[in-house]
Amino acid sequence: MSPDARSTPDTLFAGVRLLSEGVDLVGDLLVRDGRILDFGPNLGRPDEAIVVEEDGAVLCPGLVDLRANLGEPGFEYRETIASAAQAAAAGGVTTLVALPDTKPAIDDPALVYLLRSRGEATGSLTILPYGAVTRGCRGEELAELGLLREAGAVAFSDGARAIGSPRLMRLALSYARGFGARIVQHPEDPSLAEGGAATESDLATRQGLPGIPAAAEAILVARDIRLAELTGGAVHFAHVSTGDALELIRRAKESGLSVTCDTAPPYFDLNETAIGDFRTYAKLSPPLRKEADRLAVAAALADGTIDAIASDHQPRDADDKRLPFAQAAAGGVGLATLLGVTLAQVHNGSLSLPAAIALLTARPAALLGLETGRLAKGTPADLCLFHPERIWQVEAGKLPGKAQNTPFDGRALEGVVFGTWKAGRRVFG
């Protein structure tokens, strides 16, 4: 228990909807010494407790974000750990898995320790680093996976770069299997994607943009499923965006292979038309897809094929985006909008509220074997209080955090975060 937790008064959340995996009731929740002491109907009000009451509010675990780039180290002009922590708190995120393709890449145990300690220093965000699969995330030789794991890397990835070599991917899956870790793949065949700027389609052709075929995703997914079968290793596909890839993943799961995946809000909320008249804020990696793929991603959320929703937070400086579309950097920020865009699937009837919250909390936490992500007695009081029907508007330039490159600029969202608590201490709201 931290000294801060001991010195924090009890907090009672009174008369809210408590929502977590296996929990859905209107009642109270009591926090003491940084952990959940009790919850249920009519707990009573301890003397000197801080009482939090919000009509119509939902209290859920703090969100667990499986995929975010923090900018630091090496790209602090785009984002810093401090500014990302600010955006995360505003979005209800209390645990975040940081991508390793920084400068230098997270291929040294000392850097894993550094990121974890800097997360603790924020007081509001637990940072769990991915270790690099290959040295420098260059795809040439394996990093020291065992040492990175010992230092606290929760899984291994080369971030926004696909592990293109089948031999290296096979070796990585085999080694990671020895200590129960996943390889997290950016599922896009590098040779097919090279030089592309948008999904290969009639729209891209009309706009004169070099295309990336949707098949580039399914081709690499199919390859890596076979390699997972060959090695017995565990592969996780990040930000899956096409129906063909999801069907391959669905079949692999039915066969009992160690295959999991996530997606990000742009891929179930936007389609290729969002790039509009060369709108670089909507240039992402993977690129926004056709409407049929967007619908397939939404369906895969509902049927359980997709294991988690991640922010896919990719901060970019204004100068990265103020370029012709083909030359502009891909990526969009997502921490502050993660909950609101996900809740759009609830409001349109595609997902139930409990299912949506599970995709943001318990299910990503379970993938990494984390204690957080659920409401249970004795667990850390990492909490998010939100109103699912309050409306706010996304406005680039006014988002929390340093980077402002949101593909949802101008969008009205239902789902306002009232407050975020880390280990029982209020860090937002």
Give the 3-state secondary structure of residue 65. Answer: strand
Give the 3-state secondary structure of residue 244. Answer: helix
d(CA 147, CA 109): 6
- Which ranges of 123-256 would DSSP assign to H, the alpha helix? 145-151, 166-178, 190-193, 202-207, 215-231, 243-254
Residues 6+ away with beta carbon under 8 Å from 50: 9, 10, 11, 12
Element (H, E) at 6: helix 3-7
Pairing label, strands 211-212, 234-237:
unpaired
The closest alpha carbon to 176, from 190, 195, 156, belongs to 156
Token code pair at residue 240:
């899956």
d(CA 397, CA 410): 11
Token code pair at residue 338:
């993660």
- Which of 312, 320, 382, 409 is catalytic? The answer is 312
**Omega prior to 73 cis, within 30 of 0:** yes
Residues 6+ away with beta carbon under 8 Å from 304: none
- Matching residue, tokens 């800097």: 118
Cβ pair 49, 10 in contact under 8 A: yes
d(CA 272, CA 361): 28
Does residue 312 have an active-site annotation? yes
Cβ pair 254, 230 in contact under 8 A: no
d(CA 176, CA 173): 5
Cβ pair 61, 348 in contact under 8 A: no
Cβ pair 154, 128 in contact under 8 A: yes
Cβ pair 64, 360 in contact under 8 A: yes
d(CA 334, CA 65): 10
Pairing label, strands 11-20, 58-61:
parallel
- Matching residue, tokens 């580039």: 216
DSSP type of residue 393: E
**Catalytic center residues:** 312
